[in-house]
Structure 1
Amino acid sequence: MKNIMSAWTPNPEALNQIVQILSGTLASDTSTRVQATKALEKVKSELDFDNYLLHILAEGGQLEPQVRASAGLLIKNDLIKNWANKTTDLREHILQDIPKGLLDGQNLVRNITGNVITTLFSILGVSQWPNILPNLMQLATGDAGTTESQEGAMSTLVKICEDSAWLLDREYDGQRPLNYMVPRFIELTSSPSGRVRALALSCLNHILIIKSQSILVNLDQFMARLFSMATDPDPKVRIGLCIAFSSILDATPQQILPHLDGIIDYCLHSIGDNDEEVALQACEVLLSVASANISYDVLRPKLEQIIPVLLRNMVYSEMEVFIMEGQDEKDDEDVADRDEDIRPQAARSKEAHKVTKAKTNKELSVTQNGNSEDEDDEEEEDDEDDDLDLNPSWTLRKCSAASLDILASKFPHEVLKSSFPVIKERIVFEEWPTREAAILALGAIAEGCWEEATPQLPSMIPFLVERLKDPQPRVRQITCWTLARYSVWVCGEAVAGGSCANYFRPTFESIMDCALDTKKIVQQSACSALADFIENAEPDLLSQFIEPLLQHFQVYFHKYQRKNLIILYDTVQTFAEKIGEHICYNEAYIKMLLPPLIEKWQQLGDDDRDLWPLLECMSSVAAALGESFAPYAVPVYERAIRILSRCIEQDQLAHSDASFDAPEKDFVVTSIDLIDGLVQGLSNHFGELANSSSGSFLSGDTLMRLLMTCFDDPVDDVRQSAYALLGDLCIYIMEPFVLPHLHEVMVDIGVEIGNHIYDTNASTNNAIWALGELSLRISSENMNPYLDNFMKLLGPLLLDTSIDSTVLENTTIAIGRFGVNNAQQMGPYLERALASWCGYMKYLEENEEKETSFQGMCNIIAVNPQGINPTDVNGRNAVKAFIDCIGSYRNPGDNLASTFRILLQGFKNGLGDAGWQQVLSELEPSSVQLITARCL
């Protein structure tokens, strides 16, 4: 049979028919394409179809390259789905003949062949296709074939290294492929072919990403080659060179440090390269250097050279200016946004429930300086992209600004000293691109340098406010972003009542007005800045602006197109969360806020993606307005349930019918979050809402069944939001909603915790939080059957320092809360869990969650005094940790303070005077003082 397969020859008529069909699928005429596609579906069932496609790709030299490429794509897609179903003979035939395509003279054919080989390699790996790597390396080194085949083999190896480098870093029969491949790739960086040199560098860069020892042991030789390639005439080689410097810096910074001075000089020179991609990659190296975990002393001497280059490259290029000035000639606020104008939106699932840590003085200063350490960096970068440039792509300008931002955070004094005189000079330039770039630079250094720049801020902020009226829209746009970067300082001055306290009003009002701009890019930046100011201002300060804000919101809703409405929804959401208490009982305010939202809500269909950000906004508004949202709640709830139910039904259909498209899970996430907002807002009255809604499908029982389906969803964001809703249902309406389904809920929570991995931190965290809330509200009899299983799941988490901090904190809260109603049953776990529990509990902010958890742990200790043996080392350490934890609790409630007093007296009596004094001697004086006072 093998001989028959290897001797296979195509039937000329059948071959011509398939070629004609493939040509038809590429035709410009729609009718021809449709007919050809139908014909293609028919011939796919022919027994030899794969052989014909392989022949057309690998041996159809007389055919059009596009037709051969089409055959290759069909093979690739078919192999991904059906390789396992191919006969052994056909598999061997494909593996034997497919490399022939790399010898072809057509670049397109070689590239498609490389894609097919890469796909097969990802399926088979080294073990099941052992000869492909030696064959490719032989072609790549030029030992066989032509320059074209050498480039084809190298291009394929790049794809394999990109997708499967980790497979090459394993041993097979005692041999590690990379041990042979890396030295050959380094040699190939000396190839006379610029393309081969660039491809060899690309392979090595992909291998650097996995930090393979195969390249690290050859690093000196590799770096010597890199330095010799610094003046390579091929720009793709110089691009690869810069990528290599960044990759080495990430993989092993210490080995590159001796050469860092020269590398920085090279990159500063290359940023001026005529090739834009070379310039960008050179700047990327500077960004990597700025971000690297290396001694500040290494970089500090180079700052005076680096900063002027970064500032210079933050100016828009001549081509960018030409394009923008053409775009900005006319106002565009009335121009409808196209689908392609709007960046794909992903619904933000319900935030993982956080137990706030008590802040140290240092942490407080970080928060006052700007963004907290917990802030979502990716979201911030996305916002920055939107505000810095209409073009969402990564550019030299953005890379320069990002580098300056990071350097400012590490070297605030030096960066301000080098940059501010230049900024001050250029910010008043007549040429708007220079003026705009100076304002961008001012924003880029804001978070790192604002403290150093405090003497300049009183004159700088009013100047920026004036620039909001600049005739150039790009200047107005970037000024909004820069003012937002200084919003913490402006808001802080207003609260502190200092000499600049009166800056807030004109700044805030000017941004509100700027959001009415006739240019959409300015509207977007101003509305986003407005959200930052709202977020950073104290509620009492904002309360003076509620009515003008609401009036402006009404106009924004009327003016904005689809893209900017997304920003507006986020701003309204921030506003509602910040000062909901100030508006929830004011009917006039509510009538100004809700009608525009309801109007948009009614305009959008249930399957419209623009509904996602609106649902998120409505969720926060409903929660903030509380019972004042009740008149609008029934239709909102009915629609949310309808969307959720429909999506779950469609998802189940898609699992049983492959031809049925599954719904986008963002509809599920946002519907759940909106229902959660209603629960938070209406609290215990939510049950009345569910019962008053028309139809049994809107009942609480139906909601719980939908929710339990979501607990099993494979998408983490869905489960994250579902468990957040469960926790709030437990808080407000436990008995009528959750209790009838207690067993199913407990099993689902256990499965979620048991399946915890890094990627499921948020959903696991919310499940544990919901469990803690649930445990407070059910009887000991209801909780007891599940207690042992949950302690087996949660106990080990407390001992695992690699677990996400929010998961650990909520685990700590939940374990303590188990003791509120199940103190006796928690006795066996006391000594094992207490020390770790104290280690996390000590640093949590004092709030209701901490108090109930502490009360529960006190209950456990009180009814299980034998659970801790103070004469045992572990027992004594646990007792000391708990006493220290009590000493760190500054303001407990009356009941908890009384419990502390009783327990401390018990510990003192149990330890004896000597033991008690020994424990106190090991604690902080401030804790000892509180403990002593509580023992009196």
Structure 2
Amino acid sequence: MDQIIELIQWSAQPDNQIQKQVYKRAQELSQDTQFLIHLCSVIIGNYDAEIRYRAAVILKSAVKNCTTLPETLQQMLIQVDLSIQIMRQAFVIIVPEVVVRNGIKNSNIMMEYLIKLIDSDPVIATDCLSKIIEDLKFNSENINYYGTDTGLQLIDQLIFKFISLVEHSNTQVVVNSLNFLNYNIFFMPPSLNQYIDCYINILITGTRSQEQQIRLKCFQGIQALIETNRDKIKQMNLVIMACVQSLSDPDKEVVRFVELCLTDFLRFNDAEDYEKTHLLEPYLQQILQPIILNLAITRSDQIAIQPTFSNSYNQGGKNEDEEQDEEKTLGEYSLRSVSNLLLKKLIEFYDKTIVPIVLQIIDQLQQQQDWKQQEIAVICLGLFAEKIMENHANLVPNILMSLFQEKNQQNEYIYASTLWTFSQYNEWIKTVAINETQFIQSYLKLLLISIENQSIIVKESACSALNSLSKDAFFILQPYLLDLFQVYLKALSQKGGVLLYIYQSITTILAECETIENQELIDLIMTKLISNLIDLNDYNICPLYECLAEAVEKFGQRALKYIPVIYQAIVQSMNGYVQSIQNGKTRLLYQQKEILKRSFDVCIKIINITKESFLELCDQSFLQIVDLAIQDTETDVKQYALSLIGELIKDCYTIFKNVNIAIVLNEYIYAQSISIDPSKLFLATSNNAAWALGELAMKDPAKLTVIFNAVMEKLIKIINEPKFPKSIAQNLCIAICRIAGSHIQQIEEFIPSFFKRVCLILSQIKSQSLDEYKEESFKILINIVKMYPGRVINDIKYFVYCIVASNEFPSIKPLFVNILQELQQSFGQQKFDSMFSSDDLPNGFRMKMINIYGV
């Protein structure tokens, strides 16, 4: 016990490193149930109150990490002295954690104690119970037993008690009770369903409370109802009125939830809900100004609302639990972001009514001296750009000219928002580009100057605007590419987070270019990118690798001389992943996996242009890294590794001369039902492994012989799953055709299981990027029909349909016509015609068959 007291005392030290050591030690000890009992003994013992409180904090951490909780824990915790304020805090910290960790059905002692405590100490009791039900919504599997489990039946029986408690004289009890009831909305237990009208009236009335916390909880409850059970709200007009009246609430957090309620109200699932849009129409004039004013930037925003880049590179080294903790719900958006979402919804449903009103508000805001209001005016011009172009096109030239005003460039937030707003008028810019050369040049000049601005948010907005222009109207940028890249390359000399946006913008521009012939420009780009290949195991290398992958693919052979340097860099980066695994550095492993995936991407592009010469770059350690990656616990890493293997088989097969890669790939095809793979993780891995096997079937079919039957059985099982993702289904069918075609003498018994399904899926492929593989698959299907006509006779119409419904391939037409004529002769005209008499063939099918193929 003395050692535990010492550990608790050390936890009070302000030194972070000492605290980390304390909690690490507590985590180790938490597997011993006696440790938990000793901590609980301290909490209820005759120790200093501060010591007892810290014991509760450590106990909470230990409860999370222990395998099983000791049975005596509940009996001990109900002895906590609640007359001491700090122990009341300790009780609220630990009790909900124990109940949730133990499960409500196994926490009868604690639950019964809390229920008895409602009358004698309602603040503590309601606080604990509301935290328990809150955790149920997010974490606990207990929700699956709602209505059958005795503990949850107990909660259901508490609904009426908590409804009565919202009239309590203590504000905190009211807040806790509302919180408890609000989280029950997501489960809608029988008792709450019974009293739902009463509770809705309580919520509407509570929105007018003098207490901010009560108003906030009432709007949180209303939002939960609109989001999950809007059909329970019989008088939606009263809810709308409450929201409209509270848009002017002095508390911004309350306003944020008011706006979330209105935003969710405008998310409709059926026609009946859609008809209720008229409820908001009478208030549009009244609500627009406050919503627009809520776009004002605050200190916590620190960045304009405009959508630019999603910065996926500032996440640091997080484990999966930390990532899940950071997933944001709608309720965690800032008021500025929520106002933005609500305005978009209002535009969607009431554009003709609100645009004239908004234009008047914008005009008023532009006259204000406050820069924040001026910035709102700029943002609104962007938000309403589509409808302004659609219904007030005559205003667009003046709007864009006003954005060029120098005052817009004196404040970084207005400047950044101005650039974003410009990008919202790309459709108009695209239509005038030919005749308005001077305007286009001025706009591009502004963007290029902005990339060199000192402000990061201005640079980001400029890069985003250029990206948007390149996607919407690349022909505008084409004549200025050299100038554009010179500015970008100059910007690459800078350091810090701004490089992320520059790299991403270069990647986007390169992706839009059909080709770049200028060798001088290629050399400039490649030299500059390569000069930034430093800190190769730093997470921020990822966007540079994405940029290099695009550059290598776009420049092809023209970038060949730079390949050795790039390859050496990515090998060093990949070794960071290997070392993290070997050294057990899990804190950095997340980052190293992301770097590895980007390294694999670059490697694939290198393999595509070097082909068999890739062997001159790599050694045996390269395959060892790939082998380690396909065994990784993270599905994403496996997928990248399998994609890389597929490219190696296609372009540099010699690398596998000492390995039967077919046996390895077969291990990563999982014939699991989608019903037990809802996230489709196994399916995605199987997809990449099957594609690689398809490449192997074309390159070295003999290697497949040993696993042919096993692979075909698994792939056939997968493609016959219901509700199959279309792109994966198409890939797997192409792989099946390739594998079947490589062993056509062995497929007779499999044909009835896959032939119809493959034909139907192939008929749905519309992407031109897959035409080569589709044509190849058709040839294989024709060979199957030719060799096994008796096996396919019942499904022949699907084979014919998939070819007739597709684009005409010159190489396929004579083969197809020939096989149809053979079938006519073999089965006779009458039976042949009967094969296509089914009603499930589309209109025009027979005419197309006659007109194009003459059959």
After TM superposition, the score normalised by the length of structure 1 is 0.79
Shift of 1:77: 2.2
Q: 2:790 aligns with which of 842, 861, 866?
A: 866
Task: Work out whether residues 145 and 152 of structure 2, in 8 Å CA contact, stay in contact via their aligned partners in 1.
Answer: no
Matches within 5 A, 1:82-481: 82-84=66-68, 91-101=70-80, 103-106=82-85, 109-139=87-117, 142-145=118-121, 147-159=123-135, 162-164=138-140, 166=143, 169=146, 171-172=148-149, 176-210=153-187, 215-256=192-233, 258-295=234-271, 296-300=274-278, 302-303=280-281, 305-306=283-284, 309-315=287-293, 320=298, 343-344=314-315, 394-423=333-362, 426-427=365-366, 429-446=368-385, 451-452=390-391, 456-466=395-405, 469-481=408-420
Distance 1:453 1:799 in 2: 53
Specify the SS of the correspondent of 1:868. Answer: helix
Q: 2:746 aligns with which of 786, 810, 825?
A: 825
Task: Work out whether residues 290 and 406 of structure 1, in 8 Å CA contact, stay in contact via their aligned partners in 2.
Answer: yes
Shift of 1:635: 2.9
Specify the SS of the correspondent of 1:176. Answer: helix
Structure-2 change in CA distance of 1:533 and 1:59 (3 Å): farther
Specify the SS of the correspondent of 1:224. Answer: helix
Distance 1:31 1:289 in 2: 48
Distance 1:47 1:121 in 2: 16
Query: Could you say which residue in structure 1 is the equivalent of 2:802?
Result: 885
Residues matched between the structures, number: 830
Query: Could you say which residue in structure 2 is the equivalent of 1:26?
Result: 12
One-letter amino acid of the counterpart of residue 758, structure 2: W
Shift of 1:864: 1.9
Shift of 1:279: 0.8
Bigger relative CO (Cα 8 Å, ≥ 6 apart): 1
Distance 1:32 1:663 in 2: 21
Query: Could you say which residue in structure 2 is the equivalent of 1:523?
Result: 459
Distance 2:849 2:468 in 1: 40
Distance 1:690 1:762 in 2: 31
One-letter amino acid of the counterpart of residue 406, structure 1: K
Specify the SS of the correspondent of 1:802. Answer: coil
Query: Could you say which residue in structure 1 is the equivalent of 2:834?
Result: 915
Q: 1:575 aligns with which of 479, 488, 509?
A: 509
One-letter amino acid of the counterpart of residue 880, structure 1: K
Matches within 5 A, 1:56-67: 56-59=42-45, 63-64=49-50, 67=51
Specify the SS of the correspondent of 1:601. Answer: coil
Structure-2 change in CA distance of 1:143 and 1:49 (3 Å): same
Q: 1:534 aligns with which of 470, 480, 485?
A: 470
Task: Work out whether residues 102 and 149 of structure 1, in 8 Å CA contact, stay in contact via their aligned partners in 2.
Answer: no
Distance 1:239 1:731 in 2: 60
Specify the SS of the correspondent of 1:524. Answer: helix
Task: Work out whether residues 549 and 605 of structure 2, in 8 Å CA contact, stay in contact via their aligned partners in 1.
Answer: no
Task: Work out whether residues 690 and 732 of structure 2, in 8 Å CA contact, stay in contact via their aligned partners in 1.
Answer: yes
Task: Work out whether residues 504 and 543 of structure 2, in 8 Å CA contact, stay in contact via their aligned partners in 1.
Answer: yes
Asked whether 1:791 is paired with 2:712, we answer yes
Query: Could you say which residue in structure 2 is the equivalent of 1:354?
Result: none
Task: Work out whether residues 687 and 732 of structure 2, in 8 Å CA contact, stay in contact via their aligned partners in 1.
Answer: no
Task: Work out whether residues 697 and 742 of structure 2, in 8 Å CA contact, stay in contact via their aligned partners in 1.
Answer: yes
Query: Could you say which residue in structure 2 is the equivalent of 1:705?
Result: 624
Q: 2:815 aligns with which of 889, 899, 916?
A: 899
Distance 1:803 1:515 in 2: 45
Asked whether 1:608 is paired with 2:520, we answer no
Task: Work out whether residues 297 and 336 of structure 2, in 8 Å CA contact, stay in contact via their aligned partners in 1.
Answer: no
Task: Work out whether residues 185 and 200 of structure 1, in 8 Å CA contact, stay in contact via their aligned partners in 2.
Answer: yes
Structure-2 change in CA distance of 1:118 and 1:319 (3 Å): same
Q: Return 5+ residue gaps in structure 1 as ranges.
A: 1-9, 328-339, 348-377, 386-391, 655-659, 870-874
Q: 2:655 aligns with which of 736, 742, 759?
A: 736
Q: 1:53 aligns with which of 10, 34, 39?
A: 39
Q: Which moved more, 1:417-426 or 1:721-730?
A: 417-426
Q: 1:664 aligns with which of 584, 589, 601?
A: 589
Query: Could you say which residue in structure 1 is the equivalent of 2:321?
Result: none
Asked whether 1:816 is paired with 2:737, we answer yes
Matches within 5 A, 1:598-747: 598-602=530-534, 604=535, 606-654=536-584, 660-661=585-586, 663-683=588-608, 685-691=610-616, 693=617, 698-699=618-619, 701-737=620-656, 740-747=659-666
After TM superposition, the score normalised by the length of structure 2 is 0.85
One-letter amino acid of the counterpart of residue 343, structure 2: L
Query: Could you say which residue in structure 2 is the equivalent of 1:373?
Result: none
Shift of 1:418: 4.6
Asked whether 1:508 is paired with 2:508, we answer no
One-letter amino acid of the counterpart of residue 247, structure 2: I
Query: Could you say which residue in structure 2 is the equivalent of 1:586?
Result: 518
Structure-2 change in CA distance of 1:792 and 1:633 (3 Å): same
Shift of 1:285: 0.7
Structure-2 change in CA distance of 1:63 and 1:570 (3 Å): same
Distance 1:111 1:800 in 2: 53
Over the matched positions of the two proteins, sequence identity in percent amounts to 17
One-letter amino acid of the counterpart of residue 161, structure 2: R
Distance 2:709 2:644 in 1: 25
Structure-2 change in CA distance of 1:433 and 1:627 (3 Å): same
Specify the SS of the correspondent of 1:252. Answer: helix
Shift of 1:96: 0.8
Asked whether 1:76 is paired with 2:60, we answer yes
Q: Return 5+ residue gaps in structure 2 as ranges.
A: 305-310, 319-323
Structure-2 change in CA distance of 1:589 and 1:198 (3 Å): same
Structure-2 change in CA distance of 1:833 and 1:119 (3 Å): same
Distance 1:136 1:542 in 2: 68
Distance 2:9 2:193 in 1: 49
Structure-2 change in CA distance of 1:253 and 1:841 (3 Å): farther
Distance 1:675 1:318 in 2: 43
